[in-house]
Amino acid sequence: MTPEEILGRYWGYGAFRPMQREIIDSVLAGHDTLGLLPTGGGKSITFQVPALAMEGLTLVVTPLISLMKDQVDNLKSVGINAFNLHSALTRRETRLALDKCAYGGVKLLYVSPERLQVQSFVNELGRLPVSLIVVDEAHCISQWGYDFRPSYLCISRVRRLFPEAPVLALTASATEEVVEDIMTRLEFRERGNVFRRSFSRDNISYIARYCDFKQEQLLHIVSRVEGTAIVYTRSRRRTRELSDFLRKAGVSADYYHAGLSAEDKTEKQNRWKSGETRVIVATNAFGMGIDKPDVRLVVHYDLPSALEEYYQEAGRAGRDGLPSYAVVLAAKNDKGVLSRRLSDSFPEKDYIRQIYEKLCVFLSVGMGEGEGRLFEFGVDRFVSRFSLQDSPAVSALGLLSRAGYIEYIEETSTRSRIMMVMGRGELYSLRLEEDVDTVLQMVLRTYTGIFADYEFVSESLLAYRLDIAENKVCEALIQLGRLHVLHYIPRKTTPYIFFPVSRQPAGDIRLPREVYEYRREQMARRIDAMKRFVFDTSSCRVATMLRYFNEEPSCDCGKCDVCRGRKRGLRTAEGEKALIERSILYLLGKAGDKGMNLEGLARESSLEIDVVGEHVRRLADERRVRLYSQGRVVIVNNGRF
């Protein structure tokens, strides 16, 4: 069948979207290919259609477990044989899936990049008839991108197993530098097959609202725009606060962040997808792989640090092609907030050396000691003991990790898992320290399925059975991981510090340029671009964003707030300014000491809330009105109207 026939038979479409067919043709011709398609641009079709047109198996590497499951379910529902391998499967299910892939008939196999870190699993892949390798969210392989993930570096090992199979790398956003890095790290045999679809999303209106009282503005926007919405914030605490605020105002809302249990995440996500919850207030843990086409509104309550990040999140609006809105809420101090993120993420090198020294003191690691040891690490206790600020201290630990002096395993809500990397036969010749060998023998007796797949492991259970301290079990499992005996993914309800090398004198700590200076320069450029996008009102917002992604716009979008402002002649004449301010003062005079909030002023004056906010700030500067918490505005006693 031709690609069009496959598309029509399985998906019911009569034609491909822009750039899909070009990518498919490149893949079918055997070329290594990079596809840059905006969020909602139909990336999955570009590998699912070739998978059905080619002989053999298509291996899809993706970090998005929810997307993995959804796509496999959808493929099976239309008669396409596909499997996904994730940690929730039993050993028998995993073995059955791999056997079916080996014997033929299976067209697509989805795996997470973490699985490729396990040599025994890579060896299993070697017996499969892989004819195409797909790397989704390919920007994660670039160390110069905003979302680098070390597990992606293992993909090149798989590439070498199937030298004849082309690689298709897909991402929604990437700068030229990241594009080059993707092709280098995936060992592209040729560099010319890069297909870009315009980053412009014609159905999305990009809007920035400048306001001092973001909650009031958020409620105003959510009340004005109908349909499903996502509100992004950078604080877990604020997700709950904002969802509570919206619910009290009569809006169906819930919150979501990475610290929730898996059950809570699934339940909240399903209620939102089904429409039972209208607004989800979330950190950036929410959204990747969520295929909900009818999101009408995405609001950024806090500014992201990079346009790549913003573009991906804002692009979750309007995937059905219908008119939608992406709104940024910006306060006067947000420029400073962005600048502080840079200094917090890259504190001075002397400060980083001090953090290293304080860490060693905190963990009682003497000079020349600590190599191979694992410590439970309470970040809160650490920063409290030395009166440190959280953000720069945690960033310093991350930079020390990148430089190889420690490994800082941060907190998440996952359970520990293990899988054997070394075969049974090799274990007999293994020489281990007695305490490490004791832990290994108990692991082998307790978890019999770990030679075939990951199994959840309880360090406390092993410690109880061996009558030793739990941290000794963790330490032994880390050591076994370093010896490539097994792959150990620690639970991350408690952060850990691991010392791959002994404690060094603080003055000898060196941070290579690629760890510090280069990354700092990259982040500074991304933050400057974000500031331009949000705060520059002289240029079309879409044009600003397109130029950042090395795309020259043919014309302004005509839909963003800057373009609309030009059309309406938003710059109010002095006489009209005076009229608006007289109206505001009149309404406040009627309200008396109780005052009014911005929402009420906008409603009573029939003005946009951002216009009201601009004039209220001017009146406050002139001391004709007074601003209080929660957005309340009160006229001063000597106010004139």
State how far the Cα of 412 lies from the Cα of 259, in Å rounded to an integer.
6
State how far the Cα of 493 lies from the Cα of 102, in Å rounded to an integer.
38
CB proximity list for 169: less than 8 A, separation 6 or greater: 33, 34, 35, 134, 135, 138, 141, 182, 183, 186
The partner residues of 205 in beta bridges, in order of sequence, read 325
Q: What is the pLDDT of residues 142-174, one digit of tens each?
A: 877 677 777 788 888 888 899 999 999 998 878
pTM of the predicted structure, to 2 decimals: 0.67
Q: What is the pLDDT of residues 208-264, one digit of tens each?
A: 999 888 999 999 999 999 999 999 999 899 999 999 999 999 999 999 987 787 678
CB proximity list for 177: less than 8 A, separation 6 or greater: 142, 144
The partner residues of 170 in beta bridges, in order of sequence, read 35
103: phi then psi, degrees, rounded to nearest 5 = -85, -5
Q: What is the pLDDT of residues 471-500, one digit of tens each?
A: 889 889 988 988 889 988 876 556 788 898
- Six-digit token pair at 473? 């079990």
The reported pLDDT for the residue numbered 474 is: 87
Cα separation values, 98 from 113, 123, 244, Å: 17, 12, 46
Q: Mean pLDDT over residues 592-600, rounded?
A: 85
Contact assessment for residue 112 and residue 158, using Cβ atoms and an 8 Å cutoff: no
Q: For 634-640, which contacts have Cβ atoms below 8 Å and span 24 or more sequence positions?
A: 634/588, 634/591, 634/593, 634/594, 634/595, 635/585, 635/588, 635/589, 635/591, 635/595, 639/585, 639/588, 639/589, 640/585
List the alpha helices (DSSP H) in 571-640: 574-591, 598-605, 609-621
Complete DSSP assignment for 70-133: HHHHHHHHTT--EEEE-TTS-HHHHHHHHHHHHHS---EEEE-GGGGG-HHHHHHHTTS-EEEE
Q: What percent of the chain has pLDDT over 90?
A: 40
Greater confidence, 571 or 145?
A: 145
Complete DSSP assignment for 429-497: T----HHHHHHHHHHHHH-TTTTTS-EE--HHHHHHHHTS-HHHHHHHHHHHHHTTSEEEE---SS-EE
- Six-digit token pair at 169? 């790398």
The reported pLDDT for the residue numbered 430 is: 85
Q: What percent of the chain has pLDDT over 70?
A: 93
- Give residue 377's Cα distance to chain centre: 25
The helix or strand, by DSSP H or E, that contains position 352, with its residue range, turns out to be helix 349-362
pLDDT over threshold 80, residue 568: no
Evaluate the CA torsion angle 272, 274, 277, 278 in order and state its sign. Answer: positive
Contact assessment for residue 33 and residue 193, using Cβ atoms and an 8 Å cutoff: yes
The reported pLDDT for the residue numbered 379 is: 86
573: phi then psi, degrees, rounded to nearest 5 = -65, 155
- Six-digit token pair at 330? 């910006």
The reported pLDDT for the residue numbered 488 is: 87
Enter the DSSP assignment of 258.
T
